[in-house]
Amino acid sequence: MPIIDCHVHLHPPGSTTAPWISHPDYREVMAWLAAEGIQRLVAFPTFANAPNNEGMARLAEAGGGTVIPFAWVNPHLGETALSEARRLLHARRLRGIKFHPLLHAFFPNRPLLDPFMKMAADEGVPVLFHSGHSMQSLPWQIAEVAESWPAVTVIMDHMGLQLGWVDDAIRLAEKIPNLVLGTTAMPFHLKIREAVDRVGSGRVVWGSDAPSIHPRVELLRVKVAGLTAQQEADVLGNSILRLLGESDSTG
């Protein structure tokens, strides 16, 4: 069974990052993951106003396929960010797009995001949203994006995060077929099983949020969720492979 971490922050050499963030060397983080049996990881650059996507692409190329790089896009940077992401996606060095509406201070369900969502649709890549904080990363806002762009796989990571909002995230995913739930840092282990039961294991993916959270902690939450062996295999790896076009395995 492949184990693939869908949410890792790596610090490419030469990157700058937000002053309140301290990141270990990327090789140390990857050693943590390998020690837990994690074969591959979806990775983003570290926190910054203009994340180092070029550095992330170079790091991934040196990783021999272990790192599945996503561009972390700040839509306020407009055409600069759009052109960079399009170039990297078109070259197929980056495999998707990450948005953090809270950090970069934008509402996801506004026209600001439309050029980036169109690019994702044109390139056939998924987008991943941070969720779970008011006022700019609420489950309903991200669900509205998924409804507006049905051809794009939209991953609502943290699946709402907060008590009550997790229930809304599951309910919304039941209604919107291109909305995928990410378990990263969501603290309620039984909600993972509920999400799988109601949405299907093919639309639930697992991540650790390393290095902020050790991957062993997040793996344990899935292990005690009461999933079947097939459901667990889907959540821990099969589902994200399928969403990335690398496998047809579903739950």
- Number of neighbouring beta carbons within 10 Å of residue 175: 11
How confident is residue 214, by pLDDT bands cut at 50, 70 and 90?
very high
Instruction: Provide the pLDDT for residue 19.
Output: 58
Question: What percent of the chain is predicted at pLDDT more than 90?
Answer: 86
Report the mean per-residue pLDDT for the chain. 94
Instruction: Provide the pLDDT for residue 120.
Output: 97
Domain 4-243 CATH (choose: 3.90.550.10, 3.40.50.10490, 3.20.20.140, 3.40.50.1100) = 3.20.20.140
Task: Show me where the domains of the chain are located.
Answer: 4-243
Burial of 139 (0-12, 13-18, 19+ CB in 10 A): buried
Instruction: Provide the pLDDT for residue 17.
Output: 66
* pLDDT tens per residue, range 74-120: 999 999 999 999 999 988 689 999 999 999 999 999 999 999 999 99
Q: What is the dihedral of CA 98, 101, 105, 111, to 10 degrees?
A: 90
Q: For the residues 55-70, what does the mean pLDDT come to?
A: 92
